[in-house]
Structures are given as structure tokens and as C-alpha cells.
A and B are shown apart, each in its own frame.
Chain A
Amino acid sequence: MEKVIMGNHAVSYGVQLARAQVIAAYPITPQTQVVEILSEFCANGTLKATFIKVESEHSAMAAVVGASIAGARAFTATSSHGLALMHEVLHWASGGRLPIVMANVNRALGPGWNVWTEQTDSLAQRDTGWMQFYCETNQEALDMVLQGFKIAETVLLPVMLVLDAFVLSHTEEPVDVPDQETVDRFLPPYEARYKLQPGDPRSFYGLVAPEHWMELRYKMQKAMEEAVAVTQQVGAEFGQVFGRAYDVVEKYRMDDADLALVTSGSIVGTSREVVDELRDKGQKVGLLKIRMFRPFPVAAVREALAGVKKAAVVDRNISYGVGGIFAAELKSALYGTPHQPTVFPFIIGLGGRDVTPQSIRDIVAYAQEHDAPAEEIIWMEVKR
């Protein structure tokens, strides 16, 4: 059924359809609507789940870890400082190989207080062993909840789906909300492989000596590597069932592109328009959307950029001392491949500063006009 809903509510519908069993969350702008409507669903029985009204995000993730190892399908949502507060528990979830799904609404980290969109919060957690998916639209956010559980429960790694604050979270877009029966066919009930089971007494997450540690971590990395193919399979299956297929990246008008815009999140939507516009003018510009950031889709990215001369990476985030994070990861993925494009690393839109079609045109223009970036980081629209 088609509804016109904000991104936060799209996530909530996704969680309801996924039949999550335990939800624990703490409110933080701009995530609050996710939990508010889930609370209503639990209260009126349209979602048979326990909603634990925890007192902090650290506790929210801990509660969800507890529920998941107890064998239940568990979900939480947060943003920015809430995500940062959960940090140590994120490691417990991934090392614990728990198929938790979390929605993170990208928001800048203070000080000063800034509630608007920036990707630094989720990217700062890129080493925690969580899978990360960046959503372009509200539809994608809902769809990602459903796929997220399926992928997570297959590879036994937790999944974070990410959407921009306000641009997606609070903006209403048309979203196709699938029916429960179809979702149930796509996503069966959760059967935990590892769980707390009275009668089968096992101890979880205790002391591991160096003699065993590396093998367990090796297995985690292997799971991440398998996750690429799993994500592609699940995305293809989703297409068959719901009519919307997904892959780890999306190539838009990349076939003969000389210059590729490489970006993620809602900026992708803006970029599509500019690419169409420039193509109409005869410029060979394409768009590579990075949907899955963790694991980084190395093979797909290499393949997509193989014949491209220039890659303009648009980062709405920064790792201080290095620069845009997608740009750094991209360079690392391309290292050693023949015919590497010149990478132009752009930083724009931090703290919710608007990214407009003109911004994208300026970015393309810069890349077209320069053989190589004139600085290590190309700051866009900063008064300097």
C-alpha cells in the first residue's frame, strides 16, 4: 500500500513488517519518530513486541544484545551522540555475532549542538564489525529493514541502516508499504543458531586467550567477505518478491562515463538529476552510488570505475587528519588496480548545510577543470 511518510516512519513500518520481537530505544533528535510510532504499534498490538524504555543508548544496545542472544529478533534506532554512547556495546554485538538491525539517522556530533545531517556519526563506527548501508530514499529505508534482518541472520553480523537527518528522516515521500503476508514469505521467523537455552548450558562471550582469538576474528572477517554475495542475493530476491531489486552499489549512466560522481545517502538523489542534466548537454558524466559501505564493495567499485578517468567523491563527513571517509576508502580499494581514476575528494554539507543541484554542478565543474585535485581535501562552499 502506498503511503506518503517520513523516513523515520518508513523505518517503523519496516520494523513492524519484520515482526521484530524486542525493541529497546532511547529518544534523540532526529530519531524520535521511529520509536514513537513503534511504541504505538506495540501498545495497540499491531506489533507483538516488547518495547523496553531504556534510560540511555548504551542501555538500548545492551538490552538489544541481551534480547538477541536470548534468541529474539531485536531492533533499535539512534543517532549521533546516542550512537557514540553505544560504541563499546556495538563491538559486543558484532563479536557476539548477533543479527541485530539498527537504524541510525545521520546527525552531526557536537560540540556545539547540531541536529542536522552529517555522516560522521555512523562512519566513526566503521571499525566495529557492523555492516553499514546508506539509504537514498525513504523507500530504501523501509526496504533495508527487511533486507537487513535477512542478511544479518544469514551471515550473523549486525546491520546498521543509515538515513540522513531531516532530509530523509522528516521529509515525507511516497513509500510502498508491502503487505505482511508477502513480507512473511520473504523473511521467515528468526531461528537463532546461538542462543541462551536452558537445558543446553553454554557460556557466551567469556575470556578468550591469544591462542584462540585470531581464529575467531578471522571468521568474522570471512563473514564480512561472504556478506557481499549474500547482500547481492538478498537484494535480487527482494526484487523478485517486491519488484525493487538492490545491489551493493548502483551504476547510473556509467557505461561510457569519463567522470563519475561517487556518493551516498540523499546526495545520490540530487546527483541523479544533475547527471541527467549534464548528459543532456553531452557530457560523459556518470554516478556511482555506494549503498553498502561495510563491507566495502571493493570488487564492485573496481569494476564500476575501471574505465573512468576521474572520480569525484562527495563526502558529507570527515575524519579529521585524513579527510572524507568514502574518498579514503575508495582510494584504498583502487590501490594497485590498473587504470585508476584520479580521485577528487570533496567535502560538503557537514552539519546539515544544504547540498543543492548547483553544489553538484560545481563539483563536476571542478573535476572537469582540474587534472588533479589542487588540495588534499576539496572543501565546497566553505567561507575561506
Chain B
Amino acid sequence: MSNYQVLSEARGQVLSEARGQVPDQELMSPGHVACPGCGAPMAVRYALKALGENTVLIVVASCWSIIAGPFPYTAVQVPLLHTLFATGGSVASGVKAGLEARGLKDTTVLTLAGDGGTFDIGIQALSAAVERNEDFIYMCYDNEAYMNTGIQRSSATPWGAWTTTTPVKHPKEQPKKDMVAIMAAHRIPYTATATVAYPEDLIRKVQKAKGIRGSKFIHVLSPCPSGWKSEPAQSVLLSRLAVQTRIFPLYEVEHGEKYTINVWPKERVPVTEYMKLQGRFAHLGPEALAQIQENVDREWEKLVAKAGVTHLNREDAKNAKGT
């Protein structure tokens, strides 16, 4: 049992009740080849802690295809199936059916894909699988570009960001695709966002997903020091700032209808606090930054409205424990 159980301080505001929810068992080894400070191994470590050994991990072509280590080695202590870029949704459906045919009805299938394999090349198979309400947990670790092939833009790249295919003279012109809204529109039982700075929240969500039969989608923001041009040591800080600036709110959607905001940042942290730590935004001038702030504020209010928060209950919502 972790000693931090005795502390009263919140590790992030959502967690005052979630403390002590991190299982001790490690199902990931050191020696994996993620870049120093990468958010992706953090996300998988937490997800595997949440699920335990009776899990099959499917890794769609992405950084994790390499992080997992080369043949004949593996970095995780659960069965792992590497699969083709566009096949996250389809392979997972087949694996689940195959396991059930063998009588392994309680084994959890966790599909892990990057933003490329989820938002872009993999979106067809994913949409089809969740439309069929296939029983798996799909976890997208989103580092906001095709990082494994060298930082090319994806539809998850935020507006204004530099990537090798959206160079400084022509940064990304389109806003980030709202994948959670797309998944929620399929009316699947459970959709949620999470990030590595809030591990107890991520673990809680994965465990909640495990207990639901049907399609579960968890969108995890995963900082990438290499692609974001940030300090490796600051990956957790960036992940926290993303939530506190409301750029990446933490919330859940059940059956496409019921929205619950998990963390309501107590102070209004300006987006510049998050962006100034990343070289991929260094070229943005004050107008662009102001535009981004405006966009973030507007999206936040839309989310707040979806969560059923009005001026009448806003104070309660801000103070509520977000479980």
C-alpha cells in the first residue's frame, strides 16, 4: 500500500478521493526504448496496473511498436500483439472473438494506438468496431503528430503547431479533430479523456471501462519531448498544464449523452503557460496565442454546457469531487 495514502494533499484536484488507487504490481519492464520523458510508457504502465495480468495488449503501428523492444524481447508482462497501422479496431474485434471462442471470456482486450492509428488511418476500422459495440478498451495515446515516423502532422495536431509537414512558414491550419465527440456520437457505453499527470484518474477510468461490456474509448494526452520540443523532465508538468489551461479537459461521456467533467481547474491558467514550454509553438505571435486562448475558452464553455452546468449550479460543479 502506497505511503502517500496518508497525505491529505491532492495530487491534482480530482484525486482527493482517488488516492491509494494505484496497484503495486508492475507489468512493464525497464529496458524499453521510449525516449527519456516520454508519456507513452507512462500511459501503458498505468493502464496495465489498472487491468492486471488477464489482459491482451494489441499495439497498433506507432511509437509503441518500437518501445516494446525488438524480437526476441518484450517490455510488458501481458501477451502483446503487434498489428498493422489501420487495423486497431478490426484486429481487436477478431482477438476478442478468438479469446471468447477458447473460453477466455474474462480476458480484457486493450488496444493501444497512437493518434495516427486512431484519428487518421485507423479511423475506419475503429468506427466500424465501435458501431458494432465490440467489447474492448481502445486507448489512444495522443502525442499530436506521427511521431514514430519523425513528427509529421496528423489530424490530432493542434492548430498552429509546427511539425515537419506543417513547417513554421505554414503551420497547421486546421483545429485538432475532436475524436472524443466522434466516439461519443457512436453512442458507445464509455468515452473518456485522461492524461499521464493524473495517473489515479487514468487508472480509475481504465478500471471502470473494464467493468463495462462493449466499446470503451479512452483518449490519453501523451507528451512527446522529441516532437513537442520540450524538456523531458517536464512531461508530467505539461500534461498537468494541458488540463489546467483547459486545452485538454478531463471528462467522461456515457452512452454519448451524459457528460461528467472530472477536473475543474480552480484558477484560470492562460494557455501561454503551457505553450511557452514547447518549441513547437515558439513561432506563434500574440495574435495567434490570443486566438488559441479564445478557442480554448469557447470549447470549454461548450463542454461545460454539455455537462449540464449552468450559471445556477456552476459553483457546485466547480467544487464537486469529480469522480
Contact = CB atoms under 8 A, between A and B. Distances in A.
B102 A203 contact: no
A287 interface: no
B128 A59 contact: yes
A63 B94 contact: yes
Residue of B54, B87, B96 most packed against chain A (CB within 10 A): B87
B97 A52 contact: yes
Contacts of B84: 62, 88-89, 92
Contacts of A70: 56, 94-99, 101-102
B81 A205 contact: yes
B93 A196 contact: no
Contact of A68 (B77, B92, B98, B125): B98
A203 B107 contact: no
Nearest to B89: A59
Interface of B: 53-56, 58, 65-66, 68-84, 86-87, 89-102, 104, 107, 124-125, 127-128, 131-132, 134
Chain B interface helix/strand/loop/mixed: mixed
B78 A201 contact: yes
Nearest to A70: B98
Contacts, number: 175
> Chain A: interface residue count, which band?
35 or more
Contacts of B66: 207
Given A52-B94, A207-B65, 10 more contacts: A22-B98, A24-B90, A24-B97, A50-B100, A52-B93, A55-B124, A70-B97, A72-B99, A73-B101, A209-B70
A201 B90 contact: no
A179 interface: no
Contact of B76 (A22, A58, A203): A203
A64 to B, nearest CB: 6
A208 B124 CA distance: 28
Contacts of B77: 201
B98 A67 contact: yes
A206 B90 contact: no
A202 B80 contact: yes
Contacts of A63: 90-91, 93-94, 97
Interface in A349-369: none
Given A56-B124, A71-B102, A208-B70, A62 B91 contact: yes
A208 B86 CA distance: 20
Contacts of A200: 79
B81 A64 contact: no
23 contacts: A22-B97, A24-B93, A24-B94, A50-B97, A55-B131, A56-B124, A58-B125, A62-B125, A63-B93, A63-B97, A65-B94, A70-B102, A71-B99, A71-B101, A72-B99, A74-B98, A196-B99, A201-B77, A201-B79, A203-B75, A203-B81, A203-B82, A207-B71
